[in-house]
A and B are shown apart, each in its own frame.
Chain A
Amino acid sequence: MSQTKIVGTSVPRVDGLEKVTGAALYTGDLKFPRMLYAEVVRSPHAHAKVLAVRVDKALKVPGVRAVATGRDFPFHTGIYMRDQTIFAIDRVRFVGDPVAALAAETPEAAHEAAQLVEVDYEPLPAILDVVEGIKPGAPLVHPDLGKYYVESFITPKPGTNICNHLKVRKGDYEGALAKCAHVFENTFTVPQVQHVPMEPHISVARVDLSGKVEVHTSAQSPFTVRHLLCHCFNLPHGDVEVVVPTVGGGFGGKAGINLEPIAVALAMKAPGRPVRVAATRAEEFYATVVRQGLTATLVTGVDKKNKVQAQKMYYLWDCGGYGGYGVNVVRAAGYTCGGAYHFPNVWGDSIGVYTNKPVGSAYRGFGMQEIHWALEQQMDRVAHELRIDPVEFRLLNCLGPKKTTVTGQLLEKSSGRVDKCIEKVDEVLKLRARGKKKPFHGKGIACAVKAPAMPNNAASSVIMKFAEDEMLEILISGIDIGQGLATVAAQYAAEALDLPMERIRVRMRPRTDFSPYDWQTVASRQTWATGNAVLRGCEDLKRQLFEVGAQALGAPVSRLELKDRKVIDKKTKKSVPLAAIVVGYQFPDGHTIGGPVATSAHHVPDGLLFLHPETSQCSKPVAKWTFGAQGVELTVDPETGNLRIERLVACYDVGKAVNPGLIKGQTFGGIVQGVGTGVMEELVIDGKDGRPRNASLMDYKIPTALDIPDKMEAFYVETPQLDGPLGARGIGEHTMIPTPAAIANALYDACGIRIDSMPITAEKVLKALKEKQRREKEGEDVQPAAASVAKVRPPARATRREAGRERPGGVRARRGRAK
């Protein structure tokens, strides 16, 4: 790889100035004349029939200008599966499901009116547990499942609560398991959690008297919002404009479509008036979207040489009331079900289950933190049981060049190296070469892998144009939700065109009427996709500049170079400044050639193939993998159960660290978000009535400055990604994937206890410690954590096709035991 000048340096964020001065405008900062304020009427029941919705009293409240209910807008929406209507029509499926909405002159009037909407419900039995939901005969959350539009790669099972099921069948799992010397089976659970972006969801819509729809919204994906709005309301794309101002954090929660249809529905009822729908912080917790819960059961068969020969993964996802986006998390977790390991024989099932709980969606990691919670603890347990060092065991079994993933994809040298990441973490934390162990002090490691989960044709594009003073303007529709996309896009252009950073402006607040198409800002795909598009665009800009420059300088194109804002003839050293070319070059005699220099360029993933429908075997299911590892050093307070994380060391193979300052920010941010889900976060849904019990920042704690690890260290391996822009691959989400499992493994190292159910709260730790002391006193097995070891019988031939029963190996889906 050639030397780079700007790519690879920690240039400051291009949007930093507007953010530190308070100048950056977020959706809620925009002023719209005569704006109406909305309030959404939401279901108090987890599952109920809607018999009637009466709005006449609400409409009499002074200032109320519009009301919308399900019967007014019987339209379905959803990104991968259209299983949701804007407002519930005949059935509500979770506490918080929208039933109606009102728009009024003031928020107070809207609030008052919302209390006067009368809804007759007939409560139905609710599914509040995935294991219950998948049982044959369970009440159905979606009796009409067979009637929905579903993307071809999503496979719901009508007549059940299964909204998607991905099967992975590689090699001969049953045969290999029978030959294994040791077999281990464990179950792990992850609760639903919330993204908690600091800016809650907000959308402002206006429908003018010509029918044109304009939506200003805090969203990760303006074009997908437009596309889905057009489908939902049956409108041409040309008559709907989506504008995304500065976004105050997304983490997946603002991917796809969220409050926008509610805002548009109300705006249609109040033509000409902008209608603002803003989630309160409480609604943010349970009524927008959440990360899905997971119950994972793993079976690992190991041979005499400590190599895993057979691996089974049974993932049950708590998708909540609707599966629109979450069904693709189920899919991604399926084709990545083995994590960072090479398993020659695999039986994997990733099953999404509808429940009457908040709606699951994308969340930083897209299922990966959840499955790594299970996989990385399982590998650790197995290593301890076999009395082999966990680092050695990982190195022995991890993926790498010439190894195959669970879908049979053969990895190459350029695919990234998890072994190098493990070794770096080991070197820094001295996991293997440790000295004497202090009591209640421990170290642990966990690996991570993730690929972008996206349709095979997910595209990004850019428009690039020069202003008259040769300032380069780059229009993107990838959203800078904080990750630094705008800065990275500018860095690539600066590198390719030898421009100083201050001569580039990235237009990062797209309007779909004017901005280039971009599928979505998700999947850690933007540096890679938009970065590639920018580099391609620069090639074309260069070609145009040289074409005119050649004539201006009387030199062949082959002799030209672009340097210091000039086109230079390398032979004569004569040059022409860019400013003289970018809107057309004028010769001394007055005649003009060329014209405004501008281009558009795009990137689509190359050569992606569909998975085999029964086995998921596929040579190239995803565009790229990013591997990494994290190590934790902590002490446990035996009096309180509190953990003190002293050191957290992360290493990722990023291909190319485009901006070390930004990547560090992604890494530290991901680690701390991972510490949050690892030790303190859980959206508590009452097991009886399905109501959220901690829908506030008072009761749902996220990490503060006091909760961060004492020391965080980040390292990067750079194995260039062949199709990455200057070798780069995605990193944003990966940084929070292994953290909880690494903490759990360090906890075991510290005091010999295992917590299977995320989060590892002080309460659970204390309880487990007491349990361990009790057992030790009674002279029982001093390793309660090892109690999970079980030689399971070889699986029965799986002839039954129903997913719920298709569990060879007699795996019982147990709930977390350490609660």
Chain B
Amino acid sequence: MRHTITVRVNGVEERHEVDANQTLLSFLRDTLNLTGAKQGCNEGECGSCMVLLDGKAVNGCLTLAAELDGHEVATIEGLGQAGALHPLQSAFLKHHAVQCGFCTPGVVMTSLALLQENPKPTELQLKTALAGNLCRCTGYRQILDAIQDAAKTMRAQSKRRTA
């Protein structure tokens, strides 16, 4: 059975026919060719496919594309680009928080969801939020440092905006 969905992906309206069993991850990767979100386990355990659905971090592999109608999806591709990086992306570079990079898009999106909800997380809140994102390379330390640094930048930015 196929469903027609209209969904905003990184601010762009997309209208597609999807199979009932197609996942959000497959919709992004195979239909839209947005390959930033990765498939690491396809069973919701590794977090490599984390994207934002209406601002909340979700596993792309556990969400069905058919459920997306009328909703909004944000992926790493909509976050920033060369010359205009998001503070999280800049901080990941500065703190050497990237190694093989396979988990990076998922980790960045999870962090974004957290910081939008809680701009000043404690170390424990941060670790808890990231517990669903596995990284085998970095040992997480530089990732945690990068996110705290980015949080600081983001708080300063929002202060400037409200001032």
Contact = CB atoms under 8 A, between A and B. Distances in A.
Interface in A118-147: none
Given A704-B134, A708-B139, A280 B102 contact: no
Contacts of B33: 31
A130 B82 CA distance: 54
Contacts of B29: 29
B148 interface: no
Contact of A697 (B37, B98, B134): B134
Nearest to B29: A29
A669 B80 CA distance: 27
Nearest to A250: B100
A12 B94 contact: yes
- Give the dominant DSSP class at B's interface: loop
A712 B92 CA distance: 19
A668 B139 contact: yes
Interface stretch (B52-60, B64-72, B122-130, B151-159): B122-130
B39 interface: yes
Contacts of A715: none
A12 B93 contact: yes
Interface in B6-44: 29, 33-43
A490 to B, nearest CB: 15
Contacts, number: 178
Contact of B81 (A15, A21, A668): A21
A13 B98 contact: yes
Interface string A670-681: 111100000000
A249 B35 contact: no
B95 to A, nearest CB: 8
A22 B102 contact: no
A630 B137 CA distance: 19
A198 B89 CA distance: 20
Contact of A16 (B38, B41, B46, B93): B93
Interface string A695-715: 011100011111010001000
A787 interface: no
Given A199-B38, A246-B101, A697-B45, A706 B134 contact: no
B136 A251 contact: yes
Nearest to A667: B139
A702 B136 contact: yes
B108 interface: yes
Contact of B142 (A19, A248, A483, A664): A664
Given A29-B35, A483-B99, A706 B131 contact: yes
B45 A672 contact: no
Given A24-B101, A704-B130, A10 B144 contact: no
B96 to A, nearest CB: 4
B141 interface: yes
A113 B33 CA distance: 28
A675 to B, nearest CB: 8
A29 B49 CA distance: 13
A8 interface: no
Nearest to A712: B141
Interface string A650-685: 000000000001101101111111000000000000
Contacts of A12: 93-94, 96
Nearest to A20: B89
Interface in B132-149: 132-144
A24 B77 CA distance: 11
A197 interface: yes
A661 B138 CA distance: 11
A249 B136 contact: yes
Interface residues of A, number: 57
B126 A698 contact: no
A669 B38 CA distance: 21
- Give the dominant DSSP class at A's interface: loop
Interface string A17-42: 11111111110110100000000000
A22 B77 contact: yes
The listed residue with most B CB atoms (<10 A of its CB), out of A22, A481, A704, is A22
A684 to B, nearest CB: 17
Given A16-B92, A698-B43, A198 B102 contact: yes
B101 A19 contact: yes
Nearest to B39: A28
Contacts of B37: 22
Given A249-B137, A280-B42, A22 B96 contact: no
Contacts of A703: 139-140
Contacts of B103: 198
Interface string A245-261: 01111110000000000
A482 B42 contact: no
A198 B46 contact: yes
B35 A21 contact: no
Contacts of B139: 665, 667-673, 703, 708, 712
A698 B130 CA distance: 16
Given A199-B40, A670-B139, A697-B41, A13 B96 contact: yes
Contacts of A482: 99-101, 137
B43 A697 contact: yes
A696 B140 CA distance: 21
A21 B80 contact: yes
A664 B100 contact: no
A31 B29 CA distance: 10
B38 A665 contact: no
A670 B138 CA distance: 8
A557 interface: no
Interface in A521-577: none
A692 interface: no
A17 B93 contact: yes
B145 to A, nearest CB: 10
A15 B45 contact: no
Contacts of B75: 22
A803 interface: no
B134 A702 contact: yes
A740 interface: no
Given A197-B100, A482-B137, A668-B141, A704 B38 contact: no
A332 B15 CA distance: 58
B74 to A, nearest CB: 12
Nearest to A13: B98
The listed residue with most A CB atoms (<10 A of its CB), out of B94, B104, B144, is B104
A21 B76 contact: yes
Given A21-B85, A247-B100, A281-B42, 9 more contacts: A20-B104, A22-B77, A199-B40, A248-B40, A482-B137, A665-B99, A697-B46, A705-B131, A712-B139
12 contacts: A20-B101, A21-B81, A22-B76, A198-B40, A198-B102, A198-B135, A199-B40, A482-B100, A668-B139, A669-B137, A673-B139, A705-B133
The 5 A-B residue pairs with the shortest CB-CB distance, nearest first, are A22-B36, A248-B102, A482-B99, A19-B101, A482-B100
Interface of B: 29, 33-43, 45-46, 48, 75-77, 79-82, 85, 89, 92-96, 98-105, 108, 126-128, 130-144
